[in-house]
Amino acid sequence: MAVVGVVMGSASDWPVMEKAADVLAEFGVPYAVKVSSAHRTLDETVAWARQFAEQGGMIIIAGAGLAAHLPGVVAAAVELPVIGVPIASGHLNGVDALYSIVQMPPGVPVAAVGINGARNAGLLAVEILALASTELRDKLCEFRRNQAEKVAAQDAALRGRGGQGERLN
Ligand code: RP5
């Protein structure tokens, strides 16, 4: 049973949204993927979101470009946390989608990550789920430790280049 739904307005969004799916897979979180457009297939989008919630889905990650109605429409359809991913496309390169997602009117919130920030959307979903799962919390701690170790390794490698270490601090 999918716990996180990853929905996007077009298959053209998948190269970005795939990064959210990758994170969920990394953490072993069951997820479902859906292409559905807020303006081209409105009824199907609402029906999908409601069915996902009825079947026990807990969080929706919704990515869209341009005017980017999808995250807001999905958030209006169900009482689940929705994380919006603004996709870079068109003349405004994602700024339009960012504003559209982040400026939801009061009453129907959408959490927004940065433009093309699907990886962070996946991580935020994992962090929300980790509130009720010690297993996920442990995995997150390990993930953060590994991340910190990589920075330390980069630092050590740069310090090895002719004693420039002091400048890095
Ligand atoms: C939005 O319009 C989609 O989310 C996509 O980012 C953008 C362009 O869609 P396509 O023309 O590539 O289908 O609805």
How far CA 9 is from CA of 61, 83, 92, 133, 164, in Å, comes to: 12, 14, 17, 31, 48
Q: Max CA-CA distance within the chain?
A: 63
Bridge partner list, 8: 35, 63
Rounded to whole angstroms, the Cα distance separating 128 from 145 reads 19
pLDDT, tens digit, 9 for 90 and up, residues 120-134: 999 999 999 999 999
pLDDT, position 62: 99
The model's confidence at residue 160, banded by pLDDT at 50, 70 and 90, is confident
Å from CA of 165 to ligand 1 middle: 46
Mean pLDDT of 147-153: 96
Q: Determine whether the shortest distance from the Cβ of 65 to ligand 1 is under 6 A.
A: yes
Rounded to whole angstroms, the Cα distance separating 156 from 153 reads 5
Q: Determine whether the shortest distance from the Cβ of 87 to ligand 1 is under 6 A.
A: yes
Q: Return the residue whose CA atom lies nearest to atom 5 of ligand 1.
A: 65
Q: Could you tell me if 123 and 159 are in contact, meaning their C-beta atoms sit under 8 angstroms apart? A: no
Q: Return the residue whose CA atom lies nearest to atom 9 of ligand 1.
A: 10
Full DSSP string of 83-140: EEEEEP-TTTTTHHHHHHHHTPPTTS--EE--TT-HHHHHHHHHHHHHTT-HHHHHHH
Instruction: List CB contacts of 42: < 8 A, sequence separation 6 or more.
Output: 73
Å from CA of 158 to ligand 1 middle: 42
Mean pLDDT of 125-146: 98
Residue 81 pLDDT > 80 = yes
Å from CA of 67 to ligand 1 middle: 9
Residue 92 pLDDT > 60 = yes
At 60, which helix (H) or strand (E)? strand 59-65
Share of the chain above pLDDT 90, in %: 94
Q: Determine whether the shortest distance from the Cβ of 64 to ligand 1 is under 6 A.
A: yes
pLDDT, position 164: 55
pLDDT, position 11: 98
Average pLDDT, the chain: 95
pLDDT, position 168: 47
Ligand 1, residue 9: give the atom nearest the CA.
4
Directed axis angle between helix 42-54 and helix 70-77, to 10°? 50
Q: Return the residue whose CA atom lies nearest to atom 7 of ligand 1.
A: 65
Ligand 1, residue 63: give the atom nearest the CA.
4
pLDDT, tens digit, 9 for 90 and up, residues 47-73: 999 999 999 999 999 999 999 999 999
